[in-house]
Amino acid sequence: MANADAKLAIITGAGQGIGEGIAHRLAKDGYSIAVADINDETAPKVAADLVAEGYQAKAYHVDVAHRDEVFALVDAAVSDFGDLAVYVNNAGIAFIDNFVDSKPEDVERLLDVNLRGTYWGIQAAGKQFKKQGNGGRIVNAASLAGYEASALQSAYSASKFAIRGLTQSAAKEFAKDKITVNAYNPGIVRTKMRDAIDKKTAAIKGKTIPEQQADCLSEIAIGREATPADVAEVVAWFVSPAAGYITGQSLQVDGGMRFH
C-alpha cells in the first residue's frame, strides 16, 4: 500500500460499472472502501455486498460536480475509516450527439462532472494527503477518447484530454509530497455507460446496435471488450508499492485499439 498506516480508498462513481470493479479489487488488497456515488440506490448495495464478503465499506452520497460535496466526502470517509491512502476519480458521464446539435445543458453538465469533478477530487485528496504528510495515490479515469477524440463525443473527448492534463499537472506539483497521480484510459468496457453510447451512436449512424458493436470490436487487437476487472487491475497496480516510481502517466487499457 502507498502508506502503511492508511487503509482508506475513496472511489467515486463506485455504484456500478468500472468503479464497482475497482471497489471490489481494492477491497481484496485490504483497503476500506468509500463507495461514493450520486446514485443512492446502487452505492449502498455495492457497500453491502462488500461488507457481506467480509470487507470494510460504506456508501457516501456525492455529486462530484459540487466542490463542497467532494471535500465533505473526504472528511466523512476519513472520520469513519482513518487516513486516506487512495482517491480514485472514476465518476464520469457521457452523451452522444452531433457537434452542432449538442445541447448547452448537456455540455455544461458533462464538463461540470468530468472535468470539474476530477479537479475537485484531486484538490480535496491532495490537501488531505499533504495534511497527513505521508504520501498518497490519486488515480483518474481518462479514456481512449482522451488520446484520439471520438466523433459524436466532442465534450466527452475534450473532458478526457483535460483529465490527462490535470493528471500531469498534479503529478508535477505533488511529487515532492510523495503523492503519485496517474490515469487509466479504457477503450471499450461493457457497462451501462457503454450500452447507452452504443444505442445512441447506432441510431445516429443508422446502424443496428450489433452492427455498431461489431465495428468497435473489429478495432480491438485482443478480440474482446474489456471488463471492469481488467481496468481495476491497472488501478490496483498504480496504487501498489510496485508503481511507486510511476507518476503523471495515462495508461491505455484497450486490448490494443490505439498505439500512441
Ligand X SMILES: NC(=O)c1ccc[n+]([C@@H]2O[C@H](COP(=O)([O-])OP(=O)(O)OC[C@H]3O[C@@H](n4cnc5c(N)ncnc54)[C@H](O)[C@@H]3O)[C@@H](O)[C@H]2O)c1
Which residue among 86, 189, 236, 239 contacts ligand X (CB under 6 A)?
189
The yes or no reply on residue 22 touching ligand X (CB under 6 A) is no
- In this structure, are residues 117 and 159 in contact, taking their beta carbons and an 8 Å threshold? no
219-258 positions binding ligand X, by CB under 6 A: none
User: Using CB atoms within 10 A of its CB, is residue 166 exposed (0-12), middle (13-18) or buried (19+)?
Assistant: buried
CA–CA dist 84, 5 (Å, integer): 9
10 Rama sector, left if φ>0, alpha if ψ -120 to 50, beta otherwise: beta
Show contacts with ligand X in window 67-126 (CB under 6 A): 90-94, 113, 117
Q: ∠ CA(106), CA(110), CA(115), 5° rounding?
A: 155
Residue 38 interacting with ligand X (CB under 6 A): yes
Q: Is 167 in the site for ligand X (CB under 6 A)?
A: no
Does residue 140 interact with ligand X by CB under 6 A?
no
Residue 18 counted as an annotated binding residue? yes
Cβ nearer to ligand X, comparing 3 with 143: 143
Integer CA distances (angstroms), 249 to 54, 140, 170, 171, 184, in order: 33, 10, 11, 9, 8
Q: Please indicate if the annotation marks 90 as binding a ligand.
A: yes
Stretch that binds ligand X, among 13-21, 26-34, 80-88, 174-182 (CB under 6 A): 13-21
Q: Please check if 177 is assigned to a binding site.
A: no
Residue 188 C-beta: closest distance to ligand X, Å = 5
User: CA-CA distance, 253 to 196, in Å (whole number)?
Assistant: 20
- Helix intervals (H) in the chain: 17-28, 42-52, 67-81, 104-110, 117-132, 154-174, 192-205, 209-217, 228-238
- Asked if residue 63 belongs to a known ligand binding site, the reply is yes
User: Is 147 a residue of the active site?
Assistant: no
User: CB-wise, 132 or 239, nearer to ligand X?
Assistant: 239
Q: Is 37 annotated as a binding residue?
A: yes
Q: Which residues pair with 254 in a beta bridge?
A: none
The size of the interface with ligand X (CB under 6 A), counted in residues, is: 31
Active-site position among 55, 156, 184, 245: 156
Residues that bind ligand X (CB under 6 A): 12-13, 15-19, 37-39, 42, 62-65, 90-94, 113, 117, 141, 143, 186, 188-189, 191-194
Active site residues: 156
